[in-house]
Amino acid sequence: MKKTSFLLILPTAIFGAILLYIVFYNVAISFTNWSLLHPIPSFSGISSYANVIHSFYFPTSLIHSLELSGSAVIFGNILGIGIAGLLYFLSSNKARTFFLSIIILPLAISMAVNALIWLWLYNYNLGVNWLFLRLGLPYVPWLTSTSMMMPSIIIIAIWAYTGLPALFYLASFLGIDKSIIEAARLDGASSFKILRKILIPNSANGFIVSTALLFLFTFRIFSIPYILSGGPTNIFMQTLVVFSYYLFTTEFFAQASALSTIIILIATAIVIPYALYGIKRWIKK
């Protein structure tokens, strides 16, 4: 390896350095008291962290974030396995790609647009409730009842991101040696049994990737609660990232940075093990 080889990494390294600078700059701000009332920041230890954690909004937004990401991980994995199973046993490759594309389609549309569409689908009289009425189901008070607000967001997230687990489980399933499945077939095993006994137990990689990505992508969902509630102030839809934006707009800069540091720590705790043990081993080969 020559010295000039390092030129290759230079652009990535420069922008990586900017990213690190931003992350550490953020940590530095979080140890000050910078806000509308203190326009000239001065060092104040961990008081911003204490203020943020003891604020009324922190526990609720933390719970909302965990509810959102936790539900997306659970239901995403379950639906992903189900859909991947249905796709795996299709005999036609064309049909498989076609149905898979439909499940992945929401990932190509902006979350801001998705939020806009669902805002109307959740309309009490004109939205999906209209269909529910015709199917003999009760009306659901989607965005009109505070207890239904987070479930409404979770449904959008599941709809938007289930394409990922479906894709990764399908990739895992397709990577399993065909001869094992042929042998099970000859033994008279049903498709469902093959899924349960062979495909799922051999899809640890699909599970790791799906879980990590579902968590990371839903953890940073911003536009859905922001657009459904018309801003960052509705506490029933406030997730951690929305709360930090709220602190920013109300000019509690140090507190916003303290919360951002917490958010980055949570994300990093998943990203780094995932990067080093989940993805990087594929590159070593």
Partner 1 sequence: MMRERRVLSPYTKSVLHYIALTIVSVIWLIPVYAMIINGFKSNLEVASSPVLVPPSHPTLSPYMAVAHVLETPIINSLIVAVIASLLSTILGSMGAYFFYVLSNSYFRGSGMLSNFLFSLIALGTFIPYEATLIPLTRFIVDINLLNSYPGLIVSMLIFYIPTAALLMSLFVTVVPKSLIEAARLDGAGDVKIFFKVILPLVIPGFISTLIFIIIESWNNFFLPLVLTTTPSMRLVPVAVEAYTGGYGTLYNETFAVATLASLIPLIIFIFLGRYFIRGLVALGGAGKGV
Which parts of 62-101 interact with partner 1 (CB under 8 A)?
A: 83, 86-87, 89-90, 95, 97, 99-101
> Which listed range, 46-54, 69-77, 146-154, 267-275, lies at the site for partner 1 (CB under 8 A)?
267-275
Cβ 4 to partner 1 shortest distance, Å: 5
Rule CB under 8 A: is residue 123 a binding residue for partner 1? yes
Residue 263 found at the interface with partner 1 (CB under 8 A): yes
The residues pairing with 32 across neighbouring beta strands, listed in sequence order, are 43
- Count of residues that interact with partner 1, criterion CB under 8 A: 115
Q: Is 255 in the site for partner 1 (CB under 8 A)?
A: no
CA distance 172 to 214: 17
46 binds partner 1 (CB under 8 A): no
Candidate segments 25-33, 36-44, 45-53, 55-63, binder of partner 1 by CB under 8 A: 25-33
Please report whether residue 278 would count as binding partner 1 according to CB under 8 A: yes
**Which residues inside 161-190 make contact with partner 1, applying CB under 8 A?**
163-164, 167-168, 170-172, 174-175, 187-190
| Residues 198-217 close enough to bind partner 1 by CB under 8 A | 205-206, 209-210, 213, 216
Round to the nearest angstrom and report the end-to-end CA distance of the chain: 19
CB of 136 to partner 1, least distance (A): 16
Using rule CB under 8 A, residue 246 touches partner 1: no
Shortest distance, position 119 Cβ to partner 1, whole Å: 6
Of 222, 234, 235, 250, the residue at the interface with partner 1 (CB under 8 A) is 222
